[in-house]
Amino acid sequence: MKLKELPKPSSTYIRVKCRDCGAEALIYSHVGSVIKCKVCGAVLAEPTGGKARILAEIVKEPSSAS
C-alpha cells in the first residue's frame, strides 16, 4: 500500500519588530483579530480573512523544514 504525503500547513508563526518602539513579538500568520504591541500599543497585524496584513517589520520568517 502506498502512503500519501500529507500537505504542509500554510500557517506559521512569524517574529516581528514594532516599527514604533522596536519591541519584538511572535505572531501567527493567519491572525483572527488585530494584534497590538504589548509595549506601545501600535498595530502589528490585521486580519484579512486569510493571511494577515503584517504592519510591523518581519525579523524572521520560519524556514521551510523538509
Give the pLDDT of residue 3: 83
Assess contact for 16 and 44: CB atoms under 8 A: yes
Which has the closest alpha carbon to 37: 11, 56, 62?
A: 56
- Count up the domains in the chain and report the number: 1
CA distance 42 to 45: 9
Give the pLDDT of residue 63: 60
Residue 21 lies in a domain: yes
Give the pLDDT of residue 66: 42
Residue 20 lies in a domain: yes
Per-residue pLDDT of the chain (66 residues; tens, 9 = 90+): 788 888 888 889 999 999 999 999 999 999 999 999 999 999 999 999 999 999 999 998 766 544
| Parent domain of 54 | 13-60
Residue 8 lies in a domain: no
Assess contact for 54 and 16: CB atoms under 8 A: yes
Residue 4 lies in a domain: no
Give the pLDDT of residue 65: 47
Residue 43, domain CATH: 2.20.25.100
